[in-house]
């Protein structure tokens, strides 16, 4: 089997590449960034997906499946520059879809987001929950989903919860876990917005990569699946767990609630468990311990 991973030099992508290689699957990567965590058994092309030269990669390799992870992942960037957001998340995705159709790729697996659920009408949120949009990012992700549905390709759409773990950059568009860990290890102040009782569904990156790999070989197709732990964790609880793992001595600094912040989010993962016979295996405590050790070695 021959698989292309777009965004394979990134956080989730690099873990997915490692999983594919360890499973004996031939893997090709397209990413506009230089890979920081290169797997020597994968083939890398440093290209922006909107560069027409990307088509040559499809010409050169007979791909069975494409895992499309490349994206603009920042809600803030999408608000500040919706043209860039649309170029990266919509136009680049359309190009990938069209190349898949043109060169006979059988299946596409794409990364979407829990951002499509906006303010949940009920918890835990399942895949039948209505979609709604609080940002251009959510609009672009949903538009990408619709292009996939209309493509005629076999597809699996993953809607990720809050993914965390080793290799997540604590700068730029980092998640709260990597931001807290880096600041804790450096002894810097940590802000908690609002009362800290807002909850999120934190899923470990290795489990996400496992889902991506299972989707490649699964007969399942034409389905939307939440990737989550089905567990809520408050920001206050997250802070305490990170404090224990890092011997952080400072108290958190209260900060105002941020406009548009969702109070509670947790995704129902029953359908992905049924479809791929897998649910995340890593507890938050274990995942945080692994992530802290990675940050100690790296930053």
Instruction: Quick: pLDDT tens for 41-99.
Output: 999 999 999 999 999 999 999 999 999 999 999 998 999 999 999 999 999 999 999 99
Longest CA–CA separation in the chain, Å = 57
Domains of the chain listed by start with CATH number: 2-298 (3.40.50.720)
Cα distance between residue 163 and residue 207, in whole Å: 9
Tokens of 7: 């965004």
Cα torsion 206, 210, 211, 214 to 10°: value is 170
Cα distance between residue 226 and residue 33, in whole Å: 27
Q: What is the pLDDT of residue 260?
A: 75
Check if 99 is active-site: no
User: Are 225 and 158 in contact, with CB atoms under 8 Å apart?
Assistant: yes
pLDDT tens across 162-218, in order?
Answer: 999 999 999 866 689 999 999 999 999 999 999 999 999 999 999 999 999 999 999
* The one catalytic residue among 137, 155, 164, 248: 137
Tokens of 29: 């990567």
How confident is the model over 145-156, as a mean pLDDT? 99
Beta strand 199-200 with 233-234: parallel, antiparallel or unpaired? antiparallel
The phi, psi pair for 103, rounded to 5°, reads -110, 20
Q: In sequence order, which residues have a C-beta less than 8 Å from that of residue 58 and are 6 or more positions away? A: 4, 99, 100, 102, 103, 105
pLDDT tens across 16-26, in order?
Answer: 999 999 999 99
């Amino acid at each position: 089997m021959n698989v292309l991973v777009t965004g394979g030099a990134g956080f989730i992508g690099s873990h997915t590449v490692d999983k594919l290689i360890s499973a004996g699957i031939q893997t090709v990567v397209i990413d506009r960034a230089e890979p920081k965590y290169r797997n020597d058994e994968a083939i890398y092309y440093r290209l922006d997906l909107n560069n027409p030269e990307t088509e040559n990669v499809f010409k050169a390799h007979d791909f069975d499946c494409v895992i499309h992870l490349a994206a603009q992942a920042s809600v803030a960037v999408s608000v500040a520059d919706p043209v860039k957001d649309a170029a990266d998340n919509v136009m680049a995705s359309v190009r990938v879809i069209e190349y898949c159709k043109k060169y006979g790729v059988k299946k596409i697996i794409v990364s979407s987001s829990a951002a499509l659920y906006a303010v949940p009408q009920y918890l835990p949120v399942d895949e039948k929950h209505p979609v709604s949009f609080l940002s251009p990012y959510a609009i672009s992700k949903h538009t990408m989903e619709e292009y996939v549905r209309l493509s005629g390709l076999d597809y699996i759409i993953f809607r990720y919860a809050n993914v965390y773990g080793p290799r997540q950059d604590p700068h730029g568009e980092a998640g709260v876990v990597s931001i807290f860990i880096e600041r804790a290890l450096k002894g810097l102040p940590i802000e908690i917005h609002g009362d800290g009782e807002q909850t999120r569904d934190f899923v470990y990156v290795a489990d996400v990569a496992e889902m991506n790999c299972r989707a490649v070989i699964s007969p399942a197709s034409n389905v939307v699946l939440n990737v989550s732990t089905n567990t809520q964790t408050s920001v206050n609880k997250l802070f305490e767990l990170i404090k224990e793992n890092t011997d952080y001595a400072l108290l958190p600094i209260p900060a105002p609630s941020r406009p548009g912040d969702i109070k509670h989010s947790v995704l129902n993962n029953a359908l992905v468990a049924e479809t791929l016979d897998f649910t995340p295996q890593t507890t938050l405590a274990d995942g945080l311990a692994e992530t802290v050790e990675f940050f100690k070695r790296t930053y």
